């Protein structure tokens, strides 16, 4: 397995800004099909914006995991 580069500060800030824009939807407790599809599209959009910075190609899962790790660190 080839290790990707660490997330840069620019990538982290972009993730934070985009999540703040869509925080109401992404933090929603609803889990029906329509809401889940909207959440998936937002995360896909965020991942494509992060990848477009040119540091590394980031998948949606990697971006979501990075956001969850940032939240954990902030809570500590």
d(CA 60, CA 73): 20
What does the pLDDT look like over 6-49, one tens digit per residue?
999 999 999 999 999 999 999 999 889 999 999 999 999 999 99
**CB distance 38 to 22 below 8 Å:** no
d(CA 13, CA 51): 13
pTM, to two decimals: 0.89
Flag whether pLDDT at 4 surpasses 90: no
**CB distance 51 to 57 below 8 Å:** yes
């Amino acid at each position: 397995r080839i290790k990707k580069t660490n997330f840069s500060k620019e990538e982290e800030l972009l993730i934070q800004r985009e999540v703040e824009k869509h925080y109401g939807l992404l933090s929603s407790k609803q889990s029906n099909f329509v809401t889940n599809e909207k959440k998936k599209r937002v995360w896909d959009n965020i991942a494509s914006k992060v990848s477009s910075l040119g540091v590394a190609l980031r998948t949606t899962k990697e971006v979501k995991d990075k956001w969850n790790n940032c939240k954990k660190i902030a809570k500590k």
